[in-house]
């Protein structure tokens, strides 16, 4: 089975956002409830965080895929240019 880059990028973005969600969830509870005394309910915090989680995942995945395509195009052009220079040197 071949692992495709898009699957790795999706998994990377998912893992990054799971870790970020956990950190931000705890930070909101600590900062708003603990320091400022606002009573933010756990379910409200979770729902807002869950929505932002998927928005952040889509953003990260899209940027990663765009960057991967851009780098691939640069690398392909570099290989073609190197091949043309090699052929020109042989003549």
Residue 7 pLDDT exceeds 70: yes
- Structure confidence by residue, pLDDT tens digits, 73-89: 888 888 888 888 888 87
What was the pLDDT predicted at 39?
Answer: 83
> Are residues 61 and 54 in contact, defined by beta-carbon separation less than 8 angstroms?
no
> Are residues 36 and 47 in contact, defined by beta-carbon separation less than 8 angstroms?
no
Torsional sign, CA 12, 53, 57, 24: negative
Residue 91 pLDDT exceeds 70: no
57 backbone dihedrals φ, ψ, rounded to 5°: -65, -45
> Are residues 65 and 13 in contact, defined by beta-carbon separation less than 8 angstroms?
no
- Structure confidence by residue, pLDDT tens digits, 18-61: 998 898 888 888 888 888 888 888 888 788 888 888 998 999 89
Residue 3 pLDDT exceeds 80: no
Residue 90 pLDDT exceeds 80: no
Token pair of 79 as six digits? 């290989």
CA atoms of 73 and 85, how far apart (whole Å): 18
């Amino acid at each position: 089975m071949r692992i495709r880059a898009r699957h790795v990028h999706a998994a990377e973005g998912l893992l990054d956002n799971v870790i970020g969600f956990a950190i931000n969830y705890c930070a909101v509870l600590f900062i708003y409830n603990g320091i400022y005394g606002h009573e933010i309910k756990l379910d409200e915090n979770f729902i807002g965080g869950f929505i932002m989680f998927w928005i952040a995942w889509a953003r990260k995945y899209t940027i990663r895929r765009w960057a991967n395509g851009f780098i691939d195009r640069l690398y392909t052009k570099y290989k073609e240019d190197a091949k043309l220079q090699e052929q020109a040197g042989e003549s």
